[in-house]
Amino acid sequence: MATRSDIAASPVKGGAAPGRAPGSRSADKDDKRRAKLSRRWQRDARWSPYAFVSPFFLLFAAFGLFPLIYTGWASLHQVELTAPTDMNWVGLKNYTRIFDDDFFWNAAQNTLTIGIISTVPQLMIAMGIAHILNYKLRASTFWRVAMLAPYATSIAAATLVFVLLFGRDYGMINWALGAVGIDPIGWQDDKWPGQIAVSTIIIWRWTGYNALIYLAAMQAIPQDLYESAALDGASRWRQFLHVTLPSLRPTILFTVVVSTIGASQVFGEPLLFDPNKGASGGAEHQFQTLGLYLYEQGWVNQHLGRASAIAWTMFAILIVIGLINQLISRRLRASS
Amino acid sequence: MTPPETPIVKEQKRSRLPKSARAGGTLHGGPLAYAILAVFMIVSLFPLVWTAIAASRDNQRLAENPPPFWFGSNLFKNLEIAWKDANLGEAFLNTTIVAGTSAVTIVVLSTIAGFAFAKLRFKGRNALMLVVIGTMMIPPQLSIIPLYMMVAKLDWTDQLQAVIFPSLVSAFGVFFMRQYLLQALPDEVIEAARVDGASSWRVVWHVVFPAARPAMAVLGMLMFVQAWNDFLWPFLVLTQTGNPTVQVAVAGLGRGYTPDQSLIMAGALLGTLPLLLVFAIFGKQIVGGIMQGAVKG
């Protein structure tokens, strides 16, 4: 990495100024000045990098790291929303309490299934779209921007629109299904339809975004890889399998991790998709996610300590996912 | 910001190759490609267009079969009522303040930190960069409970600073600016400024900021969009009657017992329009920015 600019020549102004005989008094003075400037310059070069990165780390420590650790501390206490500063030590009781709660396991399962049915199709469609966008196209910018339009929509607006589209009696989707002879589906009432509907909102908002990420990675693949594959007689499909996909492995891994983190946090969609707009994720908790369960425990039932325990459980799950990801990417790197 | 280039290969060499060799960026899309893209585009845009259609109808029409496919006559009436009901004027102002402050701060802090990581040598640089990348993996939502306690203790509930402070930094921003400055800022330029006696801060002001301007603009837009659309945290600390952001106000429209669907759609439309406008104007740069942030990791 060529980053040695800071050890460039000493920047003393007018160092080689003419008209100063060596040994004269002014040169002496000049030397001192030069030394002083040089010291200041060195100090500057040495410490300014830390000054440049410190605002980020200070703010991150205050609003990211400290709260994360404090959440762990709070999870070992009984804390009520009404008096968030009164903390009673209860040890691991919050954890045993939530692990005994059927709704926790229900929420964990829903988070997993919604995560899978939103992430897998999303990334596969994104890959296909990226492949097409990678052709030479007329108005390519127009297509890319149009794909990204859902990304501009907020969770709140998008969910409210989809609530109407997925309406049981007058929703457009059931109407379209009725046109091909399928009975109306209770999207907000039943388990799988509810989870599919919530996932649809997520897929709709994020597919274009992921397609652009894949497209960027595809454009970085060297052209001659395709040429030599073609000379070997590989069909387009085989080129996609044997050139495109392997080259995209790091990017795919990246999008999987980012989508997984996103999926573990799903909150607004099931909250607003619930006909009662409550925290239970449908009357039967059929699409209550962990994020929603956390909110219900903390802000509806007012048990902040228990909510903290949920947050830390989620954190632990993410760390495990991160480690698995590390393992996979290391293995991939070793094999390639 | 330079879009990723498609390599130019000489036509002569090209012509001897089978057609399939030209996949991946140089093959012309056929009608099928356009058809698939058109279908996908309709799916992308339909819910947005339909929001406008539903907002232009009355509630009764929305409870009929088949649902409306074309615009009615109530659009402006509904927009006006939704604007007043949801207190959207104030919400827009609030959201602009929050998203603007957060975007500007993130851009400035990310640029100077990204510059240090890209171009300066200091002890612990690699370790600190790993920390930055690691923090991208921590969802900020896991910190909401202590943040909520802090906000409650400081009596900031319903105050905009409760939303602004936690959103002033972005690890993605630091990473993004570092990647950009690694290529966009030649070492010689910094050296020249240093030889001229510029202090580090002068280098940042006179060399780094001008060089980073395109990336700063893109990052600013991305962060503005993100802050504008943020939902969970504003929803927790702001109420609809206090100082709502647009998202809190729009979500509030859907929460009544007998919600008026056409009004909800009008509110949703109003909440989305400003960003759609931003996308219509700066779409190319935003797309370039997302693609830039994705590669060269």
What average pLDDT does range A106-124 have in this prediction?
94
Tell me: pLDDT of A111 over 90: yes
In tens, the pLDDT along A168-196 reads 888 888 888 988 988 888 888 888 999 99
Sign for the pseudo-dihedral over CA of B104, B107, B111, B113: positive
DSSP secondary structure, A96-133, as one string: HHHHT-HHHHHHHHHHHHHHHHHHHHHHHHHHHHHHHH
Terminal-to-terminal C-alpha distance of chain A: 24
Interacting residues of A147 by C-beta distance below 8 A, sequence separation 6+: A129, A133, A207, A208, A211, A212, B40, B41, B44
d(CA B13, CA B221): 42
d(CA A59, CA B168): 7
Instruction: Report the pLDDT value the prediction gives residue B174, as an integer from 0 to 100.
Output: 93
Judge contact between B265 and B49, C-beta under 8 A: no
> What backbone torsions phi and psi does residue A136 show, to the nearest 5 degrees?
-75, 120
A314 vs B contacts (CB less than 8 Å): 142
d(CA B128, CA B122): 10
Tell me: pLDDT of A86 over 70: yes
Question: What are the tokens at A115?
Answer: 């995560």
Interacting residues of B121 by C-beta distance below 8 A, sequence separation 6+: A3, A4, A6, A7, A49
Does A171 touch chain B if contact means CB atoms closer than 8 Å?
yes
Terminal-to-terminal C-alpha distance of chain B: 16
d(CA A201, CA B282): 25
d(CA A237, CA A247): 15
Residues in chain A: 336
Statement: the pTM of the whole predicted model exceeds 0.80: yes
> What backbone torsions phi and psi does residue B169 show, to the nearest 5 degrees?
-125, 155
Instruction: Report the pLDDT value the prediction gives residue A25, as an integer from 0 to 100.
Output: 62
CB-nearest partner of B143 from A64, A161, A226: A64
Tell me: pLDDT of A126 over 70: yes
Burial tier of A232 (Cβ tally within 10 Å: 0-12, 13-18, 19+): exposed
For residue A85, CA distances in Å to A177, A308, B148, B157, B239 come to: 53, 14, 11, 15, 22
For residue B65, CA distances in Å to A40, A194, B74 come to: 78, 22, 19
Question: What are the tokens at B243?
Answer: 């100082």
A132 vs B contacts (CB less than 8 Å): 29, 33, 36-37
B122 vs A contacts (CB less than 8 Å): 46, 49-50
Report strand pairing: A83-89 vs A77-80: antiparallel
In tens, the pLDDT along A131-159 reads 999 888 888 889 999 988 999 898 889 99
Instruction: Report the pLDDT value the prediction gives residue A10, as an integer from 0 to 100.
Output: 42
The torsion defined by the Cα of B246, B248, B253 and B257, in degrees rounded to 10, comes to 180
- The separation between CA A208 and the C-alpha centre of its own chain, rounded to angstroms, equals 15
DSSP β-bridge partners for residue B98: none
Tell me: pLDDT of A278 over 60: yes
> What's the alpha-carbon Rg for chain B, to the nearest Å?
24
Instruction: Report the pLDDT value the prediction gives residue B23, as an integer from 0 to 100.
Output: 45
What average pLDDT does range A88-99 have in this prediction?
90
DSSP state of A296: I
* d(CA B186, nearest CA chain A) in Å: 9
CB-nearest partner of A230 from B21, B144, B246: B21
* d(CA B85, nearest CA chain A) in Å: 16
In tens, the pLDDT along A23-75 reads 556 667 778 777 777 787 788 878 888 999 999 999 999 888 899 899 999 99
d(CA B6, CA B25): 6
Angle between helix B75-85 and B31-55 (nearest 10) = 70
Interacting residues of B74 by C-beta distance below 8 A, sequence separation 6+: B55, B56, B57, B58, B262
Residues in chain B: 297
Does A124 touch chain B if contact means CB atoms closer than 8 Å?
no
What average pLDDT does range A197-214 have in this prediction?
94
Q: In 10 A of CB A30, how many CB atoms?
A: 16
Q: Residue A334 is which amino acid?
A: A
DSSP-derived 3-state class of residue A303:
strand
Does A194 touch chain B if contact means CB atoms closer than 8 Å?
no
DSSP secondary structure, chain B, as one string: -PPPPPPP--HHHHHTS-GGGGTTTTSBP-HHHHHHHHHHHHHHHHHHHHHHHHHTS-HHHHTSSSPP-S--S-HHHHHHHHHHHTTHHHHHHHHHHHHHHHHHHHHHHHHHHHHHHHH---TTHHHHHHHHHHHTTS-GGGGHHHHHHHHHHTT-TT-HHHHHGGGS--HHHHHHHHHHHHHHS-HHHHHHHHHTT--HHHHIIIIIHHHHHHHHHHHHHHHHHHHHH--HHHHHH--SSSS--HHHHHHHHTTSSS--HHHHHHHHHHHHHHHHHHHHHHHHHHHHHHHHHHS--
Judge contact between A149 and B46, C-beta under 8 A: no
Q: Residue B228 is which amino acid?
A: W
A 37-66 residues with CB < 8 A to B: 37, 41, 44-46, 48-53, 55-57, 59-60, 63-66
Interior CA angle at B125 toward B121 and B129, to 5°? 135
Average pLDDT over chain A, rounded to an integer? 85
- The separation between CA B141 and the C-alpha centre of its own chain, rounded to angstroms, equals 18
Instruction: Report the pLDDT value the prediction gives residue B258, as an integer from 0 to 100.
Output: 59
In tens, the pLDDT along A282-320 reads 888 999 999 999 999 999 999 999 999 999 999 998 888
The three-state (H, E, C) secondary structure of B19-69, written as one string = HHHHCCCCCECCHHHHHHHHHHHHHHHHHHHHHHHHHCCCHHHHCCCCCCC
Collect the ranges in chain B with pLDDT lower than 50. 1-25, 296-297
For residue B270, CA distances in Å to A3, A138, B70, B76, B201 come to: 48, 32, 19, 11, 42
A 291-320 residues with CB < 8 A to B: 291, 295, 298-299, 304, 307-308, 311-312, 314-315, 318
